[in-house]
Structure 1
Amino acid sequence: MTAYFERLSDRAFRATDAVQGAWNTSEQHIAPTIGLLAHLVEQHRDARRTDGLVLGRVSYDILGVLPIDVVEVDIEVIRPGRTIELVEATLRHEGRTAVILRAWLMQTADTHAIAGGALPVMPPLDAHADWEAADIWPGAFIRSGDYRHREAEPGRASAWVRPHHPLLDGERVSPTARALGVADIANGVSPRVPIADAFFPNVDLTAHLFREPDDGWIGLDTTVTFGGAGIGVTHTVLNDSAGPFGVSVQSLTVRPR
Structure 2
Amino acid sequence: MAYFERVDESTYRATSQVGGAWDTATQHIAPALGLLAHVVERDRDARRTDGLLIGRLSYDILGTLPVDVVEVAVRVVRPGRTVELVEATLSHNGRDAVLLRAWLMQPGDTARLAGTAFPAITPVDDMPEWDPTTVWPGGFIASAEVRREQTEPGRAAFWVRTPIRLIAGEEVSGLARAASLFDIANGMTVRAEPKTVAFPNIDLTAHLFDVPEGDWLGFDTTVSFGPAGIGLTSSTLHDHRGPVGTLTQILTLRPS
TM-score of the superposed pair, with normalisation by structure 1: 0.98
For residues 142-199 of structure 1, the C-alpha deviation after alignment (integer angstroms, 9 at most, x for no partner) is 0112110110000000111011201011111111110110010000010001111100
Q: Is the 8 A contact 1:216 1:241 kept in 2?
A: no
Give identity over the alignment, percent. 57
Q: CA deviation at 1:215?
A: 2.1
Query: Following superposition of structure 1 onto structure 2, how do residues 110-121 of structure 1 map, counting pairs within 5 Å?
Result: 110-121=109-120
Q: Does 1:208 align with 2:198?
A: no
Query: Following superposition of structure 1 onto structure 2, how do residues 34-53 of structure 1 map, counting pairs within 5 Å?
Result: 34-53=33-52
**1:249 corresponds to which letter in structure 2?**
T
Distance 1:216 1:65 in 2: 28
Q: Does 1:153 align with 2:144?
A: no
Q: Is the 8 A contact 1:209 1:246 kept in 2?
A: yes
Secondary structure of the residue aligned to 1:211 is coil
Query: Following superposition of structure 1 onto structure 2, how do residues 158-177 of structure 1 map, counting pairs within 5 Å?
Result: 158-177=157-176
Report the counterpart of residue 106 of structure 1 in structure 2: 105
Report the counterpart of residue 62 of structure 2 in structure 1: 63
Distance 1:12 1:244 in 2: 34
Query: Following superposition of structure 1 onto structure 2, how do residues 132-151 of structure 1 map, counting pairs within 5 Å?
Result: 132-151=131-150
**1:29 corresponds to which letter in structure 2?**
H
Distance 1:215 1:94 in 2: 35
Q: CA deviation at 1:41?
A: 0.3
Secondary structure of the residue aligned to 1:216 is coil
**1:128 corresponds to which letter in structure 2?**
M
Distance 2:45 2:192 in 1: 43
Q: CA deviation at 1:117?
A: 1.4
Q: Is the 8 A contact 2:26 2:64 kept in 1?
A: yes
Q: CA deviation at 1:125?
A: 1.0
Report the counterpart of residue 246 of structure 1 in structure 2: 245
Q: CA deviation at 1:126?
A: 2.6
Distance 1:163 1:42 in 2: 21
Report the counterpart of residue 188 of structure 1 in structure 2: 187
Q: Does 1:125 align with 2:124?
A: yes
Q: Which 5+ residue runs of structure 2 have no aligned equivalent?
A: none
Report the counterpart of residue 90 of structure 2 in structure 1: 91
**2:105 corresponds to which letter in structure 1?**
M
Q: CA deviation at 1:216?
A: 2.1
TM-score of the superposed pair, with normalisation by structure 2: 0.99
Report the counterpart of residue 23 of structure 2 in structure 1: 24
Q: Does 1:76 align with 2:92?
A: no
Q: CA deviation at 1:127?
A: 2.8
**1:123 corresponds to which letter in structure 2?**
T
User: What RMSD over aligned residues (CA atoms) do the two structures have, in Å?
Assistant: 0.7
Secondary structure of the residue aligned to 2:235 is strand
Q: Which 5+ residue runs of structure 1 have no aligned equivalent?
A: none
Secondary structure of the residue aligned to 1:4 is strand
Distance 2:44 2:59 in 1: 18
Secondary structure of the residue aligned to 1:138 is coil
Distance 1:211 1:132 in 2: 29
Report the counterpart of residue 219 of structure 1 in structure 2: 218
**1:77 corresponds to which letter in structure 2?**
V
Report the counterpart of residue 4 of structure 2 in structure 1: 5
For residues 35-54 of structure 1, the C-alpha deviation after alignment (integer angstroms, 9 at most, x for no partner) is 00001100000000000101
Q: Is the 8 A contact 2:116 2:243 kept in 1?
A: no
How many residues align? The count is 256
